[in-house]
A and B are shown apart, each in its own frame.
Chain A
């Protein structure tokens, strides 16, 4: 078995030497310093990207909040015609869309990118340039989607874009395309962040931070990033289906052509319900992180919170149909989802009880963050209880699509997400800026927000019960909702005032204000070990962690870190370096070099954004040109910034620890990133598989008679070629390992036409029997699965040639072959996809035909 990391086995640190410390600090600063002046936009370090991400998300929050105030003004009085129905539809659609996709989810990523590395005692996340890329995608996509309202073409079909309203071009214009393409683009950045965060938590923990010692925040980040990986891809699959129907008339949701609008609801809510927890868990994680600080003791039931996070993550995937109780599904199906909706209250409740228990067994220090946390729990519990009410099918039939649901969802989201986030802002503000906020103004902000919120949303329970449907743009005096609506509007403005007070407090320039004391809250987690004033490198030396609350339980830790007594205290080669550790026990595995400032990611994100935006307007030629630009920038970025061959195979990481400077296969973070990305990709593919079987259950002629099935011979030949192409890549990997560079290159390049031939075989099989995607859902499904394969073969071909070129340039060689190993992993997933598609197109219809 493995040896333990034993403190006593580490040699003692060298005696402190001021000159050495100074020299190390200046080298570290040189390596980690952000670029000067306007070039700052090329920064990739988490402290920059995290801050921008946070501010951008809040900007979208303010934008969506202004839309909400407009909604409230419109509803303030009966028969109001201030905005008109057309604009009103755009207002509520964009409000929901922006709050969910441009604020609630990105803010999780923003906070995590900002604080996770510091909580882990790491200098950065493993793929800083990927974070930067994700951020720029988010900014471009968000501005595009939000900006549409200024031109009067914002999406207006509600934030869940139900078909057939959204699939029929007569009822929905450009707005639906903007929604579909803009959000798909933003989902790319969410998945990029999820990959980054999962690898960060699993592989970049400080030496010694075993799973049982990992802070709760990290558990939540891991769980939520995992959820994103399984929740977002089905929506991407749904977006693809819907956009194909809108742009090219493929028959997926049109009942006349064998489609089914309910399929969209399934795909949307398979994403949409877990999303609620994707929003909720990371915010509750903030409370779980700050509560021990103010209670002055470790969290009661640390492991119970881990249990509840994992439990909620799973159960939340069994709730999606509770948004569809009124669609006429069999009652027994509704029963399952009702039961699961009740069950999820169990783990959710457990974590709340853990918080309460921690507060009970200790004397909680009163503070602004705790004020917000307390308000959050009160509001969230209220929203959770109405959630249990609407989880009951008979009650939901009464309350469905009424203001009761609007009230419920705002109580859960604002209590479960916004208030904890505000607590987090107040808690980490000194960590980010090293200045103190005005506590008095923050308390004012809290009471205005808390009071205003309840004033705005509590009456909506009654307006809902009295029959006011959501999304109506006006109502009549005789409906009897006028007074309650006016109260809600007043409350909304009070709430907004509170937020404005907080925002001014946060943004107030404090250049001359004194710095705060280091670790001013006396917290136990590592991010508070940061020096005041802040340094660009994050942590002076990466310590060995053997407790859950290192700053409380490891005396002298901070001094040791400052004196550079721990690992990687220097940047001798002038490179940005991290320690990569193993998943279970955080044993140091190797030193990872990460990329520094670059404009390449910016160019890459800009081109990809242009592709999506141009596709909205069906400008295919220009979109293609920018697509080529995207590929070019990305390849340039990868060629110059990844899998570099180190100048020496090992380096001294301090304290007698010598670590390799290169890793490949499943020891390299890159391999994990590919694995995780492809898991998400498989989930999107499962969304298509789900659609296939959904049609099969719903339609009598799916699959159709044997004469209309794609030709078996063509499908089989196609599969054979695709598998052959995969085997060629696998063979290239082992040949390169044996030193046969030329053979490996030949196999890699040669596999491209073989795979293309395989895809051609499939396309021929569908073409030969005259399958037309615009005529019937089966035909559309067959072509969609073939298209899916094609969409994967294009990047695959580019990567095959890229790796061959790397071998030719001797950057990927027999000893250092991480590129090829990652490519092979991609190939494994592709082969699996090919086999499943073959089973769906060839084997399953045969089995059904035989039956």
Chain B
């Protein structure tokens, strides 16, 4: 570090150390699963809208495109869930009491919330797939 003002207090970290969210890989996992839901949702909407506006009334193909995208997204979410469990120590508990004041405690909390969000996102993606199998045409 070149300047005095770039340095961090030495007590709480090595000189020049600045905690960075992305480097520690710690917070992104919380929004990753719902983001996958959002991407899948928008993609499904776009596929259906463009298909119905430009191609035709039959929904057979878009139905499978949407289901295929759902499989990919759910697979990614499952991977995220394993990360939440293995790397962060996330657990599935109802009466959560992860109040330990430590980095590990914070990781476990993030892992736990991420795991819950993975489940919710998976369910929400399943909800998005259902209409394709109910409607045969636009």
Contact = CB atoms under 8 A, between A and B. Distances in A.
A510 to B, nearest CB: 38
B48 interface: yes
Contacts of A331: 135, 138
B19 A584 contact: yes
Interface residues of A, number: 67
Nearest to B21: A583
B123 interface: yes
Contacts of B120: 307, 311, 346-347
A83 interface: no
Contacts of B45: 333, 336
Given A4-B103, A310-B117, A583-B19, A335 B131 contact: yes
Given A304-B116, A343-B127, A584-B21, A332 B8 contact: no
Nearest to A658: B9
Given A342-B127, A815-B5, A213 B19 contact: no
Contacts of A340: 41, 124, 127-128
11 contacts: A307-B113, A307-B117, A314-B34, A318-B37, A330-B52, A332-B59, A332-B138, A335-B135, A588-B12, A589-B9, A667-B18
Interface in A608-624: none
A338 B131 contact: yes
Interface in A317-353: 317-318, 329-333, 335-336, 338-340, 342-343, 346-347
A289 to B, nearest CB: 17
Given A304-B96, A663-B5, A336 B19 contact: no
A153 interface: no
Given A332-B138, A587-B19, A657-B11, A303 B116 contact: yes
Contacts of B27: 211, 583-584
Contact of B48 (A336, A814, A816): A336
User: Which of A298, A332, A343, A659 has the most C-beta atoms of chain B within 10 angstroms of its own C-beta?
Assistant: A332
B109 to A, nearest CB: 3
B4 A332 contact: no
Interface in B86-134: 94-103, 105-106, 108-110, 112-113, 116-117, 120-121, 123-124, 127-128, 130-132, 134
Interface string A810-834: 0000111000000000000000000
A303 B96 contact: yes
A167 B2 CA distance: 57
A5 interface: yes
B31 interface: yes
Contacts, number: 181
A592 to B, nearest CB: 13
Interface string A288-321: 0000000000101111101100110111011000
A418 B94 CA distance: 30
A331, A662, A815: most-surrounded residue (chain B CB, <10 A)? A331
A2 B17 contact: yes
Contacts of A588: 9, 12
List the 10 shortest-distance A-B pairs measured between CB atoms, nearest first.
Answer: A335-B131, A212-B109, A314-B34, A546-B101, A330-B52, A307-B116, A339-B127, A330-B138, A303-B96, A210-B106
A589 to B, nearest CB: 7
A641 interface: no
Contacts of A330: 48-49, 52, 138
Contacts of B24: 584
Nearest to B54: A697
Contact of A2 (B54, B103, B117, B131): B103
B75 interface: no
Given A318-B38, A333-B48, A584-B26, 17 more contacts: A3-B12, A210-B101, A210-B105, A213-B101, A298-B97, A303-B116, A304-B94, A306-B113, A310-B117, A311-B34, A311-B120, A318-B41, A336-B131, A584-B19, A657-B11, A664-B6, A698-B53
A311 B8 CA distance: 35
Contacts of B100: 212
Interface of B: 2-9, 11-13, 17-21, 24, 26-27, 30-31, 34-35, 37-38, 41, 44-45, 48-50, 52-54, 59, 62, 94-103, 105-106, 108-110, 112-113, 116-117, 120-121, 123-124, 127-128, 130-132, 134-135, 138
Contact of A649 (B4, B8, B18, B53): B4
A663 B132 CA distance: 52
A816 B34 CA distance: 39
Contacts of B135: 331-332, 335
Contacts of B138: 330-332
Given A649-B5, A657-B9, A303 B113 contact: yes
Contact of A211 (B52, B54, B106, B131): B106
A346 B99 CA distance: 26
A94 to B, nearest CB: 34
Nearest to A656: B11
B12 A587 contact: yes
A555 to B, nearest CB: 15
Contacts of A333: 45, 48-49, 52
Contact of B102 (A4, A301, A310, A338): A4
A506 B48 CA distance: 53
A343 B124 contact: yes
Contact of B109 (A211, A335, A583, A667): A211
A584 B98 contact: no
Nearest to B53: A697
A339 B130 contact: yes
A582 interface: yes
Contacts of B7: 660
A158 B3 CA distance: 58
A664 B4 CA distance: 12
Contacts of B130: 335, 339
Interface in A394-449: none
Contacts of A666: 18, 20
Interface string A698-741: 10000000000000000000000000000000000000010000
Contacts of A660: 4-5, 7-9
A302 B96 contact: yes
A577 interface: no
A497 interface: no
Interface in A623-655: 649
A667 B117 CA distance: 29
A33 interface: no
Nearest to A209: B101
A330 B57 CA distance: 9
Contacts of A815: 3-5
A488 to B, nearest CB: 36
A9 B123 CA distance: 46
Nearest to A314: B34
Given A343-B124, A585-B103, A697-B53, A317 B132 contact: no
Interface string A22-56: 00000000000000000000000000000000000
A27 to B, nearest CB: 23
B26 A346 contact: no
A447 to B, nearest CB: 35
Contacts of B124: 315, 318, 340, 343, 346
B5 A697 contact: no
A548 interface: yes
A208 interface: yes
A455 B8 CA distance: 61
Contact of B5 (A9, A302, A547, A816): A816
B12 A5 contact: yes
B102 to A, nearest CB: 6
A620 B53 CA distance: 42
B31 A310 contact: yes
Contacts of B49: 329-330, 333, 697
B126 to A, nearest CB: 9
Contacts of A698: 53
B19 A2 contact: yes
B106 to A, nearest CB: 4
B128 A585 contact: no
